[in-house]
Amino acid sequence: MDHSDSSEYGRRTVLKATGAAAAGGLTAMAGCLGDGGENFVTIGTGGTGGVYYILGGGIADLLNEHEDLGVDASAESTGASVENAREVGGGDMTMALALSNSVLLAVDGEGDFDEPEPLQSMFGAYVNHTQVVVPEDSDVETLADLEGLDVSVGAPGSGTEVIAQELLEWYGLSYDDINEERLAFDETADALIDGQIDAGFWSVGPPTSSIEEVASQRDIRLLSFPEDDLAEIDDEFPYYTSVTLEPETYPDQDYEVHNPGVVNTMIVNEDADDELVYDITEIIYENLDDLADIHDVVGQFEETARDSPIDLHPGSEAYFDDAGL
């Protein structure tokens, strides 16, 4: 298939095609046909208190506004990265956001994945900051100080939990050394507000509404990782990069916060239709200004477009080539 002519290849109404051959060719990407001939596009997100959910909903609305694409798009709240990788790999979800470390484990069939998942990257979206929140008067200064404490490590099957386990292990701790609570972002926020836990992990693009909610109701502090620790973590793990949370990201935060960052990837099944992936990628990247009204992290989309630990899907790679990204 020749994709060199982007004006012809760009917005095709391939999903409006009927017949077993056309529908079968798109099954892995878009699911079943609706009554009007549309294909259903499902976007896996995360908990309702995180950026995935907000961003996925905005992308679904954007795709639905482009009627020539011929899809009925919806965003689904999920357990986030690990669950999303399984759903997309199994063909039960069209596309989804997931942390790069979880995506790499999925493709390699390691960690929480019993076998390799057939995934490719549609695009690298933005960098998540590993944000660890404690009460302002807490004695906790590094993750090593969490020993014996009540800690929310994120929702089961989330990228946050994968990161929490990995970083705790780097500091010499396991779940045997803490009282782990596997809570979604909103639940973590409520538990911190009510004093039920001593610390909570968030791997999310800042600012996130659930941390803002905690900061509005009690005095908190975000842990800043020592620079030497960050340098060693960056060297040991290929998907971490040191990032800085600027002052005033959250209420009463007048200090920089240094932490490990991980790029989020929009994933699709490796068998996803090239033309559809091209068209969806084109619509998203030609409407970044509109998406940026939903969340500030969209401002990173161009910079991180090709950033992923797994292969780019041929459809999105063709669009980035045409667009010069």
CA pair distance 70, 77, nearest whole angstrom: 23
In this model, does residue 37 exceed pLDDT 60? no
Instruction: Give the residue numbers spanning the domain of 238.
Output: 128-262
Report pLDDT digits (tens) over 232-280: 999 999 889 999 999 999 999 999 999 999 999 999 999 999 999 999 9
Boundary (domain end) residue, out of 217, 237, 262: 262
Asked whether 274 and 1 are in contact (CB, 8 A), the reply is yes
Helix axes 274-285, 51-65, angle to 10 degrees: 100
Report pLDDT digits (tens) over 81-132: 999 999 999 999 999 999 998 999 999 999 889 999 999 999 999 999 999 9
Report pLDDT digits (tens) over 126-145: 999 999 999 999 999 999 99
In this model, does residue 218 exceed pLDDT 80? yes
Considering the domain architecture, whether residues 253 and 169 belong to the same structural domain is answered as: yes
In this model, does residue 13 exceed pLDDT 50? no
Domain count, the chain: 2
- Going by the DSSP 8-state scheme, the letter that residue 213 receives in this structure is H
Sorted by sequence, the CB contacts under 8 Å of residue 143 that are 6+ apart come out as: 132, 167, 168, 170, 171, 173, 223
pLDDT for the residue 87: 97
* CATH code, 239: 3.40.190.10
Instruction: Report yes or no on 1 lying in a domain.
Output: no
Instruction: Report yes or no on 213 lying in a domain.
Output: yes
Considering the domain architecture, whether residues 197 and 314 belong to the same structural domain is answered as: no
